[in-house]
Amino acid sequence: MLLLAVMAGWTAKADEGMWLPSLISQRIGDMQEKGFRLNAEDIYSINQESLKDAVVLFGRGCTGELISSEGLLLTNHHCGYSQIQQHSSVEHDYLKDGFWAMSREEELPNKGLSVSFLERMEDVTDLILKGYEEGMSEDERVAIVKKNSQSLIEEVTKEGKGLRATVEALYYGNQYFMFLYRQYDDVRLVGAPPSSIGKFGGDTDNWMWPRHTGDFSMFRIYADKDNNPAPYSKDNVPYQPKKYFKISTAGVQEGDFTFIYGFPGRTQEYIHSEGVRYIEEIGDPHKIHLRTLRLDIMNRHQSQSQKVRIQYSSKNATVANAWKKWQGEVKGVKKMKTVQTKQEFEKAFDRWAAGGEFDGVIAKIEGLYKELEPYQFATDYYAETVRAIEIANFATSLYSAYKVNKETGEITFDEKKAADLVESFYKDWYLPIDKECFAALMTEFDKNIPEDFKCEYFKKQMKKYVTAEKWAEAIFSKSVFADQDKIEKFLKNQKSLKKSRAALLKDPATEFAAEFAKWYAAEIQPVTSRINQELQLAYRDYMRGQMVYCRTQRVPKAFYPDANLTLRVAYGHIKGYQPADATYYLPSSTIKGIMQKDNPDIFDYNIPQRLRDLYAEKDYGRWADATGEVPVCFIATNHTTGGNSGSPVINANGDLIGLNFDRVWEGTMSDIVFDPEICRNISLDVRYVLFIIDKLADADHLLDEMTFTE
């Protein structure tokens, strides 16, 4: 443990790293050297208010920050996207036209959306491993960790409202941290620009620089009269945060210090070369191919109907996002020769390890990866094909509205749940897309999954129908789920719950989901989970081994725990980059670039007329930069990943200068390997946000809530 503490502080290469806020005193010297003017206690403190109190985990995988004393919150447009979409219809198309609440009464509540503040985090390694002794099996260790975690969580959450806690393994279980959060569930939509601004450039520009996307939306957190978390109620009042960000409009320049405070989701910086090789040669290419098929189908139908375009906007964006990222990632690790570099490292490590504590760990990991590969492949395929069939997922969740009492055998049916499921599913479902995807994906499944891995059910269906198209035809014409009227009638006229439940189970869509799930649970998952557990164990040694090796052999390497959706600090500076030979990208973009891309004939580049007018009249208000243009985005060297979307970008004084929302394509391999020359995070300049609120939305009442530093 002492080693870990020491390691975390030592020899970090410039700008790589996602640091734990509670240990930031180990990095603060470096941060200050690079320009930061505040102290460790200003970033994270449990004794006084600190910047952490103004940062939230937004929804399930984004970050947001407080920007007023009345609970006003800023995050990305793509983070609020599904909420904006849910409030949208052809009549009220907030995606297309934007939405601005002109009073508190107009702010829109959102089912299922919550935000969490980190109250505190603590190293609880000793507590969590209490009772564990050297020589115990991994199963025993897992059980001990689970039991100790549960009682710790119970203890720390009993004190107050909205408290929830998690215990997370860091460094593959060499260390454990407890995170205590306070969760607020009444979060209302305050404003969003039209998608032509918030998603400007669409999936064409996604993951790319130069960028001109106004990727922001605004929400407000509500609390009960005592400022405590409470479920939605019209009596709730705006939450008063302990801390909120002041906004700097002074602007940014190349070289300026930047600090990203947020919730990065997942990185794998210390994995073995075999793990990288699988991603590069097998996992990513196959997943990319499968998603290309789906996207082609969605895009074709979406371009033919306004209704379908809205219905599939959020689904399409989600599918396209990882699809494009994986392509950049593959290119990046290839270019970096990551597999080769790692192999060389592993060889040297192995030689060094001979005869000592870490002897054999490399060979062990290699063997496990070999064993894992076909099962991992099947897992990836299951996720990207079977689980991508919307009607099958819907059938499964609707089926779960029936509950069987284990003792009496009595069946109950949750009508409310079923009605909600029906409503939200059919609002955004278009049968031809789902059916064509089914045919395309099952064809690929047939082609690429080895015979002895296929389940009996699949083989039988393919034998019966010969082609996946014919099979699709059968399912989508016979299933009761393929027709909203039919299923509604079915649910309304249930005479015997037992009979109707049995009928639904036999429905071809339910059957499809259930048969594959059975196969996955019986033949794939047990093997992957056993191997992964063994891998985890081997990695625990290898992780420690890498630290000892690098320290004793003087290999300069930054050690920070892989991202796991816990609060982290990443710092760097504003900087351009060279994506290719003879090309250099400047670090900031302006409204001029929006006008250069503007094209009324291309959906992704068709901006609102009002923006054209403002530009023509140079009606920029207070928001122009020194060159007289409105700044839009900038890039910097901060190490970020998915989950960092919406994170505050903070300047040397601790004030807000922007909003993180993406990375450059050439640098997306930073989840595996970070290259300071190429890896850049992309942020929205806060001045563009303010310009849009002020000039496009005419929502200056929101500006009145904010505090500016000039």
Beta strands in 198-332 (DSSP E): 217-223, 237-238, 247-248, 257-262
Position 195 contacts ligand ARG (CB under 6 A): no
Min CB(265)–ligand ARG separation in Å: 10
The window from 202-210, 255-263, 393-401, 624-632 that contacts ligand ARG (CB under 6 A) reads 202-210
Min CB(521)–ligand GLU separation in Å: 30
Tokens 């030979």 correspond to 581
Q: Which is nearer to ligand GLU, 318 or 340 (CB)?
A: 318
**Are 628 and 223 spatial neighbours (Cβ–Cβ below 8 Å)?**
no
Neighbour count for residue 706 (Cβ, 10 Å): 19
Amino acid at 148: N
SS3 label, residue 36: coil
The contacts of residue 519 (CB under 8 Å, 6+ apart) are 455, 457, 458
Min CB(292)–ligand ARG separation in Å: 15
Strand partners, 496: none
Min CB(77)–ligand ARG separation in Å: 8
The window from 42-50, 198-206, 245-253, 489-497 that contacts ligand ARG (CB under 6 A) reads 198-206
Min CB(11)–ligand GLU separation in Å: 25
Catalytic residue among 53, 215, 562, 655: 215
Q: Please give the backbone phi and psi of residue 449, each rounded to the nearest 5 degrees, phi first.
A: -90, 125
Min CB(662)–ligand ARG separation in Å: 4
Amino acid at 397: S
The contacts of residue 276 (CB under 8 Å, 6+ apart) are 333, 338, 339, 342, 672, 673
Min CB(663)–ligand GLU separation in Å: 4
Name the site residues for ligand GLU (rule: CB under 6 A).
Answer: 62, 640-645, 661-663
Q: Please give the backbone phi and psi of residue 432, each rounded to the nearest 5 degrees, phi first.
A: -55, -35
Of these partners, ligand GLU, ligand ARG, none, which one is at the site of residue 687 (CB under 5 to 8 Å by kind)? none
Q: Which is nearer to ligand GLU, 55 or 361 (CB)?
A: 55
Nearest to 49 by CA among 69, 26, 29: 69
DSSP for 651-677?
A: -TTS-EEEEEEEE-GGGGGGGT---TT
Q: Which is nearer to ligand GLU, 245 or 326 (CB)?
A: 326
**Exposure of 260 in the CB half-sphere (CA atoms within 13 A):** 36
Min CB(261)–ligand GLU separation in Å: 14
Q: Which is nearer to ligand GLU, 238 or 643 (CB)?
A: 643
Q: What is the dihedral of CA 653, 558, 57, 666, to 10 degrees?
A: 90
Position 75 contacts ligand ARG (CB under 6 A): no
420 is catalytic: no
**Are 647 and 262 spatial neighbours (Cβ–Cβ below 8 Å)?**
yes
Of these partners, ligand GLU, ligand ARG, none, which one is at the site of residue 640 (CB under 5 to 8 Å by kind)? ligand GLU
E strand or H helix at 180: strand 175-184
DSSP for 681-693?
A: EEEEEHHHHHHII
Q: Which is nearer to ligand GLU, 302 or 645 (CB)?
A: 645
Q: Which is nearer to ligand GLU, 68 or 641 (CB)?
A: 641
Min CB(80)–ligand GLU separation in Å: 11
Of these partners, ligand ARG, ligand GLU, none, which one is at the site of residue 317 (CB under 5 to 8 Å by kind)? ligand ARG
Tokens 């959020």 correspond to 314
The end-to-end CA distance of the chain, in Å, is: 45
Position 662 contacts ligand ARG (CB under 6 A): yes
Position 642 contacts ligand ARG (CB under 6 A): yes
Nearest to 251 by CA among 671, 554, 629, 705: 629
Q: Which is nearer to ligand ARG, 149 or 647 (CB)?
A: 647
Min CB(78)–ligand ARG separation in Å: 4
Tokens 């993951």 correspond to 207
SS3 label, residue 295: helix
Measure the CA–CA gap between 74 and 661, rounded to whole angstroms.
Answer: 12
Subset of residues 307 to 346 that bind ligand ARG, contact rule: CB under 6 A: 317, 320-321
Measure the CA–CA gap between 402 and 404, rounded to whole angstroms.
Answer: 7
**Are 109 and 188 spatial neighbours (Cβ–Cβ below 8 Å)?**
yes
Amino acid at 529: S
Position 78 contacts ligand ARG (CB under 6 A): yes
Catalytic residue among 42, 53, 78, 562: 78
- Long-range CB pairs of 448-457 (<8 Å, 24+ gap) are 448/286, 448/381, 449/377, 449/378, 449/381, 450/374, 453/374, 453/378, 453/523, 455/515, 455/516, 455/518, 455/519, 455/523, 457/511, 457/515, 457/516, 457/519
* CA–centroid distance for 531 within its chain: 26
Of these partners, ligand ARG, ligand GLU, none, which one is at the site of residue 203 (CB under 5 to 8 Å by kind)? ligand ARG
Length of the chain: 710
Of these partners, ligand ARG, ligand GLU, none, which one is at the site of residue 206 (CB under 5 to 8 Å by kind)? ligand ARG
Subset of residues 518 to 577 that bind ligand ARG, contact rule: CB under 6 A: none
Q: Which is nearer to ligand ARG, 205 or 629 (CB)?
A: 205
97 is catalytic: no
Q: Which is nearer to ligand GLU, 81 or 394 (CB)?
A: 81
Catalytic residue among 645, 647, 670, 683: 645
**Are 503 and 411 spatial neighbours (Cβ–Cβ below 8 Å)?**
no
Residue nearest to ligand GLU (CB): 645
Nearest to 446 by CA among 438, 454, 436: 454
Min CB(1)–ligand GLU separation in Å: 31
149 is catalytic: no
Q: Which is nearer to ligand ARG, 275 or 642 (CB)?
A: 642
Of these partners, ligand ARG, ligand GLU, none, which one is at the site of residue 320 (CB under 5 to 8 Å by kind)? ligand ARG
Measure the CA–CA gap between 612 and 453, rounded to whole angstroms.
Answer: 57
Position 645 contacts ligand ARG (CB under 6 A): yes
Q: How many binding residues for ligand ARG (CB under 6 A)?
A: 11
Q: Which is nearer to ligand GLU, 48 or 318 (CB)?
A: 318
Subset of residues 203 to 232 that bind ligand ARG, contact rule: CB under 6 A: 203, 206-207
Of these partners, ligand ARG, ligand GLU, none, which one is at the site of residue 643 (CB under 5 to 8 Å by kind)? ligand GLU
SS3 label, residue 636: strand
Position 124 contacts ligand ARG (CB under 6 A): no
Q: Which is nearer to ligand ARG, 278 or 326 (CB)?
A: 326
Of these partners, ligand ARG, ligand GLU, none, which one is at the site of residue 183 (CB under 5 to 8 Å by kind)? none
Strand partners, 248: 709
Min CB(385)–ligand GLU separation in Å: 24
**Are 198 and 217 spatial neighbours (Cβ–Cβ below 8 Å)?**
yes
Q: Which residues are part of the catalytic machinery?
A: 78, 215, 645
Binding site for ligand ARG (CB under 6 A): 78, 202-203, 206-207, 317, 320-321, 642, 645, 662
